[in-house]
Amino acid sequence: MILGIGVDVLDVHRVARRIDGDPAFAAVFTRPGELESLSAWAEPAARAALAFAAKEAVLKVLRVEDADGVLFRDIELLAGGRRPAVRLHERALAAARRRGIGTIHVSLSTAEGSALAVAVGEGDVNQKESA
């Protein structure tokens, strides 16, 4: 059963300017080696924009609030050949379990300077864990 859907779109050029101004910026929202694992997909700014958009879309699936303390680094985007995947860590994993979400599917695309991510959370509402 689908328990959540999230979509996010980012301007790749805006992300590129942010990275150029602060090379450590990507480390704030990615896990070690995460962007490098996506290297076959796109140039560096597009990879960063895709990763950021994917994490925003996943946060929408999880319906987390600031008080939940979920960090971008709690969501890891994996290159699975032609099909990207998401691995949840720490607070994001706990939020998914609370909602009964067992799997998150993600689809990514770039076009005309934009990065698009769609995430779908699948699970069983009867499998929710209590907080």
SS3 67: helix
In angstroms, the Cα distances linking 8 to 24, 58, 68, 116 are 23, 9, 20, 6
pLDDT of residue 1: 93
pLDDT tens digits for range 10-33: 999 998 888 778 878 777 888 887
pLDDT tens digits for range 108-127: 998 989 999 999 999 987 77
Does the pLDDT at position 41 exceed 70?
A: no
pLDDT of residue 102: 94
* Mean pLDDT of the 69-85 span: 84
Q: What domains can be seen in the chain, in order of their start residue?
A: 2-127 (3.90.470.20)
Of 57, 75, 76, which is closest to residue 4 (Cα–Cα)? 57
pLDDT tens digits for range 44-68: 788 888 889 999 999 999 998 765 7
Of 109, 112, 116, 113, which is closest to residue 13 (Cα–Cα)? 113
Which position has the higher pLDDT, 131 or 20? 20
Alpha-carbon gap, residue 18 to 10, rounded angstroms = 12
pTM of the model: 0.87
Does the pLDDT at position 131 exceed 60?
A: no
Task: List the 2-11 sheet strands across, edge first.
Answer: 2-11, 114-123, 101-111
